[in-house]
Structure formats: structure tokens, C-alpha cells
Amino acid sequence: WNALVTDKSTVDKYLKEILQDLVKNLTSNMWRVRESSCLALNDLLRGRPLDDIIDKLPEIWETLFRVQDDIKESVRKAAELALKTLSKVCVKMCDPAKGAAGQRTIAVLLPCLLDKGMMSPVTEVRALSINTLVKISKSAGAMLKPHAPKLIPALLESLSVLEPQVLNYLSLRATDQEKAAMDSARLSAAKSSPMMETINMCLQYLDVSVLGELVPRLCELIRSGVGLGTKGGCASVIVSLTTQCPQDPTPYSRVKLMSALLSGLTDRNSVIQKSCAFAMGHLVRTSRDSSTEKLLQKLNGWYMEKEEPIYKTSCALTIHAIGRYSPDVLKNHAKEVLPLAFLGMHEIADEEKSEECNLWTEVWQENVPGSFGGIRLYLQELITISQKALQSQSWKMKAQGAIAMASIAKQTSSLVPPYLGMILSALLQGLAGRTWAGKEELLKAIACVVTACSAELEKPVPSQPSTNEILQAVLKECGRENLKYKIVAISCAGDVLKATKEDRFQEFSDIVIPLIKKNSPESTGVRTTKNEDENEKEKELQLESLLGAFESLGKAWPRNAETQRCYRQELCKLMCERLKLSTWKVQLGVLQSMNAFFQGLMLLEEEHADAEALAEILLETCKSITYSLENKTYSSVRTEALSVIELLLKKLEESKQWESLTSECRVLLIESLATMETDSRPELQEKASLLKKTLENLE
């Protein structure tokens, strides 16, 4: 060669012809030719200006990509060497200083690298293509701007295509918790990949001239993109667009992006859902008020009307993201957002829902001046959304509305008309009809509202349900067959009767006393053919119903001399019977009920004295309460029994009716109290000793 070619510029002179021959021989049948062509090409490209052969670059790249997958290892190595040199030369040519030549180089290189290089099945080819793209993006800078609408979507697609497919396989077979952790790690890896680095390089040079073409492609990718990395990457690009060029996307483009992100919010993958919510939280900051309003109405509709958990989760994530990243937007639309947040934080939470409830709670607490202040500020809106929830077709939503209403009543402690009437009317309307899962929450809410606002209920107000109507509805629910529901209904009726001080004992006792008798030891001792678990659950339910029944009887005991005269004997006998034959839990419940009974017993007042009737009640009580006083195992039973004795002695002292406590009663009590003087608890010893002395002084 040195002998034949004496002029050093010969190669430059015949560059095109030499190049054409080398490219042709790169795919020769003989491996030696292929290898030497690669090495020759490596020499040819190094240190020469290639402005005249820019159009040939794609062909050289594509041919070398093929040779890189050659059967002969030495050929592959030669091709790799040639490709590395070509890559360096191309990166230099893409420098902004090269002017028009640089623009042309980028224009011919990008399609080749994106379509052929990055999508190649050969690992080495893909790696080199990505590496070259990253370097070009760093050196080309603003020259990439016209190509961004093609470059950015292609790189976003590659985030999923280039990911190892085994990760998708593992993700499909993992548990929900493992899947969430794995997908988060996958998205983090995608965001820190060279492709994302190139995208971020491009984003800083974008303006309105390019975004018109880029935004529709981004929207299409969010909707129809396959793969976690692609969708997560799209959301990340939208966040970057809103922070780097907030005014550049036209209002039309922002609406399109918002619409695309809405479809991403309902993605089955929780990580994509969170990414889209995060992007939406940033996007609303630059959107028009009308668009934000439509978005919030859409989310409100989803939450209230859709039963699938995915919609409720997406609402919580989006509104939380708006509150965190665009707090001014949330404050401007507080009347639409905060009532929904208040309702959301009262969702009946299981393990999965607790995170969602926490998000709603955070939104509410961050944007109101204290919970009480927030309720007062948005009271009308809170009642409206709770009423809407109560009218929902979904049982869960109905129950959630009731819990929210109870919370309003509890925290405001007293509701004024017309709000009290609106809440009670909605709750009573919800009570009508058959029993459904969660209906108990309506009863609890009614009890809450009536207890908190009993003073307001005494005043007659048009369109506000009267106490009589409330009691009528609640007592009707006490007659339901479902035992679990009946327990709550009875408890609610007890609370309402206690708060309103109404006398409905006849109706109430007709429901409750048969329930107590039905659960007597004789009737519960019958063996059933059910399995042990069912029997255990049934026993627990019966115990709960018994405790609830006694507690409610104590609450419902009225201050009415006529009613007391009719029922005092029967009620006392019922309690005393259960005191002798029951487990410690029932004994404790009965003693608490007994305490309430004697607290309200008018016989123990001087003006309603009846020595004979009182003597009979006291004898019955003393005979049975000794069982509880002498209960060695449970100190809570002994404590409650002592407080009943203490109350009785105090009331007898106040009404000066000591003669009704016969000598038989005194002897029984003194004997039982004497056993308690050796009690393991010093405070019980002391109290028993004092009461014993009081009784002995009567002798």
C-alpha cells in the first residue's frame, strides 16, 4: 500500500468509493473479508471529516449492527471496534459548533439508532445505541429540539422494552405486597436509567413549537403504552413539563394531558396509579380553573357512584397529591374537595383501606382551622354530601354517610335548626326498609345525634323529626330478626330513651325481656348439631345480646311512678335470677344495670315511699347480691356489687327508710361483707369494712 500510494490525500480523495466497497464487503461470504473490512472501516473513520458521507451513516450503522451478531468471534470483535469508533465520530459531528452538518447528522442518526439499534435483539447493539444516544443528547443540546416529539416517545417505550422480561413474570406471581414493592423498585430503576437521562436532557430545550406535536404522543402512550416503565416514565415527563415550562403547554394540551392521566388513575397497577396521581397533583397547578373544576367533579362522581375500590383509591391519591403539590388550587376549590375528604376519612377501614383513610384525614386536617372549625365552616356542604351518601345504592356508602353524620354531631356537640332536622330526616329515611350489612351505623349515628342534641330536640321545629317519631322508628328496628343488628338497635333505643328521658318502658321491655328469658341458662344448654366454631360464635352473640339488653334496660328505666310500680318487681326479679346463675361478664352487666335501676328507683325517695314494696325488692336483691360479693375470682364483680350496696345504703339514709331493710337482709349482707374483709385488694377491704360497720350500727 505504501509503495503504491505515495500521495497521503488519496484516501480522502477516493473516500466515497473506498467506503462503498468496505460497506459492501462487510457482509461478504468469507469471514476474513468481513473482519478486514471492519478493521479497515475503523481506520478509515478515525480522524477524518465525514461531512460528505453523512447520508451514508445510517447504512454503515445498520450493516455494522448485523456484523456485530456474526458467527465468528474475531469478526464480532472487529465490528465492535468499528462501531465504537463510529459512535465517537458521530457524537463529535453532532456538536452545535458544526452548524448545518450537525443538524443533518442528528436527523439521519436518530431514526437509525431508535428503530434499529435500541430495538435490536443483540444486547451489545442495544447497549451501544443507548450509550451513543445519551452522548449525542449531551453534546447536541438545543439541536435536539426539533426531534424531541419522535425521540422522547421512543425512549419512553424503550423503558419497558429493554427491561428484563423475567420481572413481569415475577410480578404476576407475587403477592400484592411483594408486587407493590417490586414495581416501585422497577419504576425507580427506569427513572434512573440512561434513557430517562436522555429524556431529561431533551426536556430542558422544549418550547411551545415542539409541545404541540409531543403532547398527543405522550397522551397516546399513557393510554395504550405497555409496561410499567413506559407509563411511569410518561407521568414523570408530565411533572417535568409542568415544572420546567409551566406556561408553554397550551390550555388545550393541558386538558388532553389531564384526560390521559385520568385513564392512568384507574390502572390496576397501584404504582402506575400513584405515579399518575402524582403527575395530576402537579398538572392542576398550571391548568385553568374550569378544567380543575371538571376534574374534581369527575373524582367526586367516581367516589360517590363507583363501587370498585380502585376508583376510591384513585380519588384519595389524586386529591392528596393536589393538596401536597398544588395547595393553592385545593384552597380555591375547598368547597368541592374538603367535604369529600371528610366523608372519605369516615370510610369503614379494614387493613387495606387504612392507608386511604389516612390520606383523606391528612387532606382534611391540613386544610381546615381545627376539626371543629372545619365542620362549622363547611357544615352545609358536609351535610349535603352525607345525605347524598345515605341515598346511595351502595350499603358501604350508606354506612359511611351515617358515620360522617355522627361525627358532625359529636364534634359540634349541638346542631341548630335546620341542620339537625336535615341530618335526622336523612338518617330516619335510611332506616326504612330491610336490614343490610352496615345498617347498624345508621342506628349508632341516630343515638349519637340525639345524645349530642337532646336539648335542641325538645323545641318543636317545623320539618324536624320529633322525639316521638325518632323513638317510633328506632323501636321498630328493635323488632328485627337479625340478632347482631337487634343488639345495636336495642343499645341505640336505650341511648335515645336515656337522652330524651321519655317513658317507653312498656314497649321497650316487651322487646328486651323476652330476649333475656330466651337466653336463660336452661334454654342455652340445649346441644346443637352445629360445629364448634359456629356454636362458639353463637354463644358470643348471645352473651353480647344479654349484656346489651341489661345495659339498655338500665338506661331506659323511666322516672315515672306508674310505670315503675308496674315493672319494678318484675325487673328486680329478672336481674336477681341472672345474678345467681351467670358467668362473671353477665354478672357485671347485671350489677351495672342494677345500679342504674336503684339510681332511678322512686321508691327510694321519701315522697314516693312504700315500705312493703321496697322491703320485698331489697330482700330479693340481698339474697342474690351475696353471690357476687363472695365471688373470689373476679374483683370487678366484687367492686360493682359493693357500689350497688353503697348506693342502696346511701339512698335509704337519705329517704330515712331503714325499716325496709329487714334483719334478714342485714344478716345476709354482714356475712358477705365479713368475707370481703380479707379481700386481696385493700380498697375493697376498706369499703366492705365501712359498709359492714354501717349495717352493724343499725342493729
Q: Mean pLDDT, to the nearest integer, of 519-533?
A: 56
**pLDDT band of 464, cuts 50, 70, 90:** confident
Does some domain include residue 638?
no
Q: What is the pLDDT of residue 59?
A: 92
**pLDDT band of 319, cuts 50, 70, 90:** very high
Residue 248 clears pLDDT 80, i.e. is over it: no
Does some domain include residue 584?
no
Q: What percent of the chain has pLDDT over 70?
A: 96
Does some domain include residue 321?
no
Contacts for 61 with CB less than 8 Å, ≥ 6 apart:
83, 86, 109, 112, 113, 116, 117
Q: How far is CA 189 from the centre of its chain?
A: 27
Q: Which domain holds residue 453?
A: 375-502
Q: What is the pLDDT of residue 681?
A: 86
Closest Cα partner for 110 from 151, 138, 139? 151
Does some domain include residue 168?
no
Average pLDDT, the chain: 88
pLDDT in tens, 632-648: 888 899 999 999 999 99
Closest Cα partner for 281 from 302, 299, 307? 299
Q: What is the pLDDT of residue 525?
A: 47
52-58 contact pairs (CB < 8 A, 24+): 52/15, 52/16, 53/15, 53/16, 53/19, 54/93, 54/101, 54/104, 54/105, 54/108, 55/108, 56/16, 56/19, 56/23, 57/86, 57/90, 57/105, 57/108, 57/109, 57/112, 58/108, 58/109, 58/111, 58/112
Q: Which of 116, 144, 172 is the last residue of a domain?
A: 144
Residue 280 clears pLDDT 90, i.e. is over it: yes
Q: What is the pLDDT of residue 40?
A: 92
Q: What is the pLDDT of residue 17?
A: 87
Higher pLDDT, 352 or 236: 236
Q: What is the pLDDT of residue 9?
A: 74
Q: Mean pLDDT, to the nearest integer, of 444-457?
A: 90
Q: What is the pLDDT of residue 521?
A: 56
Does some domain include residue 697?
no
**pLDDT band of 520, cuts 50, 70, 90:** low
Q: Which of 475, 502, 529 is the last residue of a domain?
A: 502
Q: Mean pLDDT, to the nearest integer, of 584-609?
A: 90
Q: Mean pLDDT, to the nearest integer, of 100-120?
A: 88
Q: What is the pLDDT of residue 512?
A: 92
Q: What is the pLDDT of residue 411?
A: 85
Residue 1 clears pLDDT 70, i.e. is over it: no
Structural domains in the chain (count): 2
Q: What is the pLDDT of residue 14?
A: 80
Rounded Cα–Cα distance for residues 657 and 605 (Å): 9
> 91 is written with which cell numbers?
457524537
Rounded Cα–Cα distance for residues 338 and 214 (Å): 35
Q: Mean pLDDT, to the nearest integer, of 660-676?
A: 89
Q: Which of 464, 479, 502 is the last residue of a domain?
A: 502
Q: What is the pLDDT of residue 594?
A: 93
Closest Cα partner for 669 from 639, 654, 689? 689
Q: Mean pLDDT, to the nearest integer, of 193-210?
A: 86
Structural contact between residues 474 and 450, judged by C-beta atoms closer than 8 angstroms: no
Query: How far apart are the two ends of the chain, measured CA to CA in Å?
Result: 139
**pLDDT band of 389, cuts 50, 70, 90:** very high
Residue 166 clears pLDDT 90, i.e. is over it: no
Higher pLDDT, 538 or 492: 492
Q: What is the pLDDT of residue 342?
A: 95
Does some domain include residue 688?
no
Contacts for 293 with CB less than 8 Å, ≥ 6 apart:
333, 336
Residue 37 clears pLDDT 90, i.e. is over it: yes
Does some domain include residue 357?
no
User: Can you give the CATH number for the domain in which 49 is found?
Assistant: 1.25.40
Does some domain include residue 4?
yes
